[in-house]
Amino acid sequence: MSRASHSPFAIVEASAGASSAPFQEADRLTSARVLAVTGERCLVQDETGTREASRAVSCLIQPQPEDEVLIVVSGRRVFILAVLTRTGLGDATLALPDRAANLAIAAPSIAFNATARLGLDAPEVAVTSRRFHLVTDVLTQISRLASIVGEALTTVVGRQSTVAQRIEVTSQERNTAIAGIDSERIGTHVSQTELTTVSAAVETHLARDDIRLDAKRVTIG
């Protein structure tokens, strides 16, 4: 037997010769009105009466009561193929009939355009990208724990303000270069170093009461 005879298209063509009708005589397409929705079970009404219908996988919009839908009747089975109209053109939810199934969108480029608000609500959000660009006028981040892990981090801003009850910095090496004025207002300053070197053209220390130097040896000059 040739390999072509096992092709599903060949099987369909062979069966089409025996029966030219793609559906049974009782199969038909018609419109219906949704009376009630319970989970994934829908109660619809057409010109023949009221019956229970299941949402087809191709119907990603969840039906709502009073929706006009397109159904296919195949024997005792009824499937909702699409939502045709909705009273007031209200909100719509995209979802698969199986709530445990995953939905993926694949395309070279995908754009989401929202005129008012775009919200993401999930227990976990993962974004994997070689390059990630975020451009916004106002950025607000609220979290109980935030971690940034990377080989290099560069921040370029016109003004930076940090407000925290406690700041801890741990580093093997730190270099700070300030071209203008470095001003600090500290309640109590405690510094513990093995070696401190200060090099300046002019250095001035101002104290309201006194200046104390406590060491085994103090050398000036």
The answer for residues whose C-beta is within 8 angstroms of residue 76's C-beta and 6 or more apart is: none
CATH topology of domain 22-103: SH3 type barrels. (2.30.30)
Q: What is the pLDDT of residues 151-179, one digit of tens each?
A: 888 888 888 888 888 888 888 888 888 88
Kindly report the number of other CB atoms within 10 A of residue 56's CB atom. 15
Average of per-residue pLDDT values in the chain: 83
The two three-digit tokens of residue 38, written as one number: 């319970």
pLDDT of residue 66: 92
**What single DSSP character describes residue 78?**
E
pLDDT in tens, 14-66: 544 444 444 454 578 899 999 999 888 899 998 888 989 999 988 998 999 99
Whole-number CA gyration radius for the chain: 36
pLDDT of residue 34: 94
b/e sequence 99-125, b meaning 16+ C-beta within 10 Å: eeeeeeeeeeeeeeeeeeeeeeeeeee
Range with top average pLDDT, 112-116, 202-206, 217-221: 112-116
Rounded to two decimals, the pTM is 0.57
In 3D space, the residue among 105, 50, 67, 60 whose CA is nearest the CA of residue 81 turns out to be: 60
- The 8-class DSSP code of residue 130 comes to S
143 pLDDT higher than 50: yes
Res 218 pLDDT > 50: yes
